Amino acid sequence: MSEAEVAILGAGAFGTALAVALGAQHRVTLWGRSAPRLPADVRLPDGVTVTTNLAEASAPATLLALPAQTLSGFLAEHGPRLDGRALVSCAKGIDLATLEGPSHLIRRACPAATVAVLTGPSFAADIARGLPTALTLACASTDAGKALQHALATPALRLYRTTDVTGAELGGALKNVIAIAAGAAIGAGLGDSARAAIVTRGFAEMTRLATRLGAEPETLAGLSGLGDLILTATSEHSRNYRYGLALGRCETFDPGVTVEGAATARAVARLGPREGVEMPVAAQVAALAEGRGTVADALITLLARPLREE
């Protein structure tokens, strides 16, 4: 894979941050419908070409930095154009219509593609500023995963490889739901101890559902699960955490900001029962996201659950 063959589809904060990180060493094409979203103190490297013409963003290795709930429609329209490439999903969510993760949507739309997932504890601003970040790169093919790992890693962006695509993908999606619950607890004034309980029990929920769907528990305990959860459930740089804070404070959240965890919670509220997995924290987040009840109601429901062993 040559240094000139990287395309990034999606010029939001994360896609643009990846373009900055990779553009210092590679020739990168960044496609988006609007101008790239950059921190005020960061500039795009000379190696990055920005375009609004999808036909110009053609490369064997293509990163899909698109919101999870828009990915299906994008693939329905453009899947044939992308087929045959190495397609790396950067979305962290579960599709509401199909209850599937991005890798499943990509495989169906692009059956000849090599599918991978890039996920883990990261804020776009940190990546754009060149701060040290470690991510998980998941690909079922060991050889393809190694090639992508070497093509996409930089001195500041360290990629750890796994073949557990399901675990990496679900860890990234489900932690957003728990981060909302953690933010809601703090926003409602319940305190750090309550947040710690929610994060701990939420991680148990994440692991139950992910392993039920075929994930390895070790993957959930790594960067793409626990690592991402720790970051997202404790920092106001996280949109999901800030959304939870707003819910807890009974404040309106900016409708123009994408909150992947809100849609994922609604998907999990259907997916958990289908798989026979109890997801009480996720169920309460789904109810809050849909305007059903309050944080106080959610807390009462969770505390009323039967006492049992951990």
**Beta strands 28-31 and 6-9, pairing class:** parallel
Nearest one of 222, 186, 220 to 203, comparing CA atoms: 220
Q: For residue 10, is it left (φ>0), alpha (ψ between -120 and 50) or beta? A: left
Q: Which ranges in 60-190 belong to alpha helices (H)? A: 68-82, 102-109, 124-128, 142-152, 165-187
Nearest one of 267, 229, 301, 233 to 96, comparing CA atoms: 267
Q: How far apart are CA 39 and CA 43, in angstroms?
A: 8
Per-residue tokens: 155: 């001195």
Catalytic site residue from 175, 195, 239, 266: 175
Report the amino acid identity of residue 130: G
Respond yes or no: is residue 175 known to be catalytic: yes
The answer to whether 260 and 243 are in contact (CB under 8 A) is: no
Report the residue count for the chain. Answer: 310
> What dihedral do alpha carbons 123, 127, 128, 129 form, nearest 10°?
100
Q: Return the active site residues.
A: 175
